[in-house]
Structures are given as C-alpha cells and as structure tokens.
Amino acid sequence: MTRFAFCCALAFALCLDFSAAGERLPYPCYKLAEAPVLDGKLDDAVWQALPRAQGFFLLGGSRYASVKQTWFQAGWTKDALYIAVSCEETSPEKMTASKEDGASLWSEDSVEIFFLPLAVGKKMQFIVNSAAARWNESGGRFPPLSAKAWEARTTVGKDAWNLEVRFPFALLGKMPEQKEAWPFNVARNILTGPADERHTSWPPLISGFHDVDHFASLIFSDKPEADASREEAKLNSVYFNHLSQWAAELAKLASSYETVLALGLKHEKLKSEASSLQAQWGALRKIAAPGNTGIESLVELSRECRDLKERSDNLKARVLMESLFEE
C-alpha cells in the first residue's frame, strides 16, 4: 500500500471511529448575532463568523469526492435554524432542476438535509434543488411536512451554486438547549459529474443518505463562535491532512516533467500551455513543502491540479510529436 493510500484509509478510519465509539462526526452550531438575509448569496457577516465543514465523501464512505466538492455552515437564532451550502459546479448549464415544489428533487442536482431531533423522535428530510424548489417528508407514521413552512433561496454562478435555508424550530418540533446534539446529515446529488460522484455527503455514510447510524451530530451552543478559523481547522483536520498527503505525493512527480515543459516552452503552439503547467507544478511544490499551513490555498490548488498529471502527459505526447515533425 502506498503512503497516499494508507493516509486515505486512515482518514476514513478516523471518521468511522466516531460511529464505532457510539459518537458522531460533530458540527458545532453556534448562535447567530442576527439572522442572515435569505438570498442564496452567502455574503452576510454572520456566515463569515461560522466555521465551514468541508470534505464531502462519496456514498459508501471510503473516499472523498475529488471532482466536485461541497461545504456547509450552520447557525441558529431564537426561532430558527439556518444552513448555508456551497456546491462546486463548473458546468451549471448542464444541471437538472425543476422549478416546482414537491417534484422528485432527489433525481436532480440538489442538496438533501436530514434532522433527527431526539426529543421529537422522527427523522425529517428536506431537499432543495439549484432552482430553490423544495421537497420534504417526515418519517414513519407522521404526515408530510409543509414546504410552505420553511424557506430556501439559491444562486447559481460560473463555478458553484449556493443555498441558504431557514428551518423554524416550530417546524422541527423543539427549541434546542445548550450542548444539545441532533443527528443530522447534509448530502448532495450531482448529475453533472462522474458516475461515482453522483451521491456525496459530509458524514461518511455507508448504505445511503438515510443511514442514520452514521449521521453527523449538530451540537448547539448558545454562545457565538469566538475564533471561526481555529474551529474550522479542527473541524476539517482529517480532510486537510488528506489533501496535504495528496499534494505531497503528486509533487514528487514534478521533476519528471521539467524537461518536457522546458521543450514545450520552445514551441510557439505549446508555449502557453507549457507555461501554465509549469506554474502549477511550481505552486504544488510550494504548497506541499513541509511546514506549509496554507489550507485555503491547498483547497483551491486541489481543484486546479486534479488532472495535472494527465494534462502534463498529454503535453508530453504533443511535444514528442512536434519533435518528430522537426526531424
């Protein structure tokens, strides 16, 4: 087993340790200074004061999504719970989204949110697609909830679609107390990516989005967060370690492309591409250096460099072809 494969397996084992110990992957849900404006833009100051939970898993729980990642935040006021979700999406024009509430939104590009308030005793499921259409249900013998009783807004950009949702506590069945924990799940349906990334979730679920045994835990605090960046680093440490190991393994290949990139720079048709690849390999080496703590830079670079080796191999083949023509 390679070092990278070992670290991936270790990351998965650490996440599952919560379930094995009868615990759940925790998200600290802090009280908001004020309610955000529900417009799907995620630019309110209150969101900036909350930690982002990053690193969604493929359904099955053994691997992180590598093509289209997702992050979320959650906070609450005296009367409602608010959740913000940002879904990486580089092909928004290909998304499937109906505009009607109550449609089969699980078969579209959408986000699913589940709650299980223990004192209420029923699982609640909410779905919102990229057009802000809503669907909801409560489990067992309980009647369906009303989509009119909760709100959702979305925005679609060139590289992501964003979601803001407001869930009144009157709808969820109770007002949370200090340190009260609710099993919950934030998951995503993706129709524009590879088949193995069709379903992703923040907790590493095994059997499906309804896998309550592996749900995360929403832990309420009646105090505002004092240091969101510190909390975020702790919250996402396993995912960040995974990215660091990925970067370190990939950076080892950089020297093997130095010659071909230098040759590519000498060809007018390949010069621009070779220069871009050279810059990305350099950035990768820098971010993968021991002691580097640029977490946000690492997350961004992981998006840009996912197919760096493949693109470099493609350039190598074209450089060799150009060299043959020159001979």
- Tell me which H or E stretch contains 228: helix 228-235
277, 312 Cβ separation under 8 angstroms: yes
Going from the N-terminus, what domains does the chain have, and what CATH number goes with each?
A: 18-227 (2.60.40.1190), 252-326 (no CATH)
Distance CA 22, CA 27 (A): 16
Residues, the chain: 327
Residue located via tokens 């960040």:
240
pLDDT per residue of the chain (327 residues) written in tens, 0 to 9: 444 443 444 444 444 444 444 588 999 999 999 999 999 999 999 999 999 999 999 999 889 998 999 999 999 999 999 999 999 999 999 999 988 999 999 999 999 999 998 777 889 999 999 999 999 998 655 567 788 899 999 999 999 999 999 999 999 988 999 999 999 999 999 999 999 999 999 999 999 999 999 999 999 998 876 678 888 888 999 998 888 888 999 999 999 999 999 999 999 999 999 999 999 999 898 888 876 656 677 778 888 888 999 999 999 999 988 777 665
Tokens of 103: 């449609």
Q: Which of 306, 259, 255 is nearest to 282 (CA)?
A: 255
Q: In 10 A of CB 314, how many CB atoms?
A: 13
E strands along the chain, which residues?
26-31, 53-54, 57-58, 70-76, 80-88, 110-115, 124-129, 134-138, 151-156, 160-168, 181-189, 199-201, 216-221
80, 35 Cβ separation under 8 angstroms: yes
Pairing of strands 57-58, 199-201: antiparallel
Burial class (CB in 10 A: 0-12, 13-18, 19+), 74: buried
Q: Which of 87, 65, 61, 317 is nearest to 205 (CA)?
A: 61
Sign of the torsion angle spanned by Cα atoms 125, 17, 299, 272: negative
**What pLDDT score was predicted for residue 294?**
64
82, 166 Cβ separation under 8 angstroms: yes
**What pLDDT score was predicted for residue 225?**
67
Q: End-to-end alpha-carbon separation of the chain, Å?
A: 43
Q: What is the pTM of this model?
A: 0.85
Distance CA 71, CA 207 (A): 21
